[in-house]
Structure 1
Amino acid sequence: MGKNATPLDHWQNALQLGMMTMEANAVIGMRIWGMAGFWAVTDSENQRMISEKAEAAKQGMMAAGLATMKGQRPDQVLAAAIKPVRRKTRANSKRLAKRGPKLR
């Protein structure tokens, strides 16, 4: 099982959750602007925003379950659950930000 969790372990999870929240809010904003015609998004963006959530949630649950079965600490289980969702929010935020505002 290993050592006990330190305050830094908890702080890292809080930081990851905070970053995930900010990225998710940015993605939501860019997608709403895209639906309104003000942000350059692809035609498949609306379908993508629905389908990717289930996959990221599944990956997070599987990672958390595996960490639990390995006997990891609760903070490590949370970190495992966050990682796939954070990976998706980070990628979406970067991808949509690169597209930028729709100028025409």
Structure 2
Amino acid sequence: MARTVTPLDLFKTQMEVGMMLAEAQSVIAMRMMGWGGLWSVTTSENDRMVSEKSEAIMMSMQGAALAAMSGKRPDEIMNAAVKPLRQKTRANVKRLGKRGPTLMK
């Protein structure tokens, strides 16, 4: 018999989604500053921005579908969907954050 969901399980899911959203906003801000010449970004950043989404969304849908077909709880299905998206946002924040702002002269 499956374990029932606890408030801690729901809190963990909420935190993962919240972190993903905060990271996504940071990535958006750094990329927009890159367009304005205020943040150091590579010339391939625009292409990367578009191409990475289809892979992340596909992995997210696959994870959620497999969790649902396995009879997982709703919070586990959500966690499976968020995991690949969060991996991508975390990696982007780390990568873009290392590049830093452009020092204007």
Task: Give the TM-score band, short-chain normalised.
Answer: over 0.9
- Residue equivalent to 2:36: 36
Q: Return the alpha-carbon distance in structure 1 between the equivalents of residues 10 and 83 of structure 2.
A: 14
CA offsets 1:50-103 (integer angstroms, 9 cap, x no match): 111111111000000000111111110000000000000000001000000111
TM-score of the pair, normalised by structure 2: 0.96
Comparing 83-92 with 47-56, which one deviates more in the overlay? 47-56
Match of 1:88 in 2: 88
Structure 2 portions without partners, runs of 5+: none
Alignment coverage as a number of residue pairs: 104
In structure 1, C-alpha distance between the alignment counterparts of 2:78 and 2:35, rounded to whole Å: 33
Secondary structure of the equivalent of 1:78?
helix
Listed as ranges, the matches of 1:41-56 within 5 Å are: 41-56=41-56
Counterpart of 2:9 in structure 1: which amino acid? D
In structure 1, the gaps of 5 or more residues are: none
User: Identity across aligned pairs (percent)?
Assistant: 54
Deviation sequence 1:17-74 (CA, Å, 0-9, x none):
1100110000000000001111000010001111111111110000000001111111
**Partner of residue 102, structure 1:** 102
Alignment-derived partner of residue 74 in structure 1: 74
Matched residue type, 1:23: E
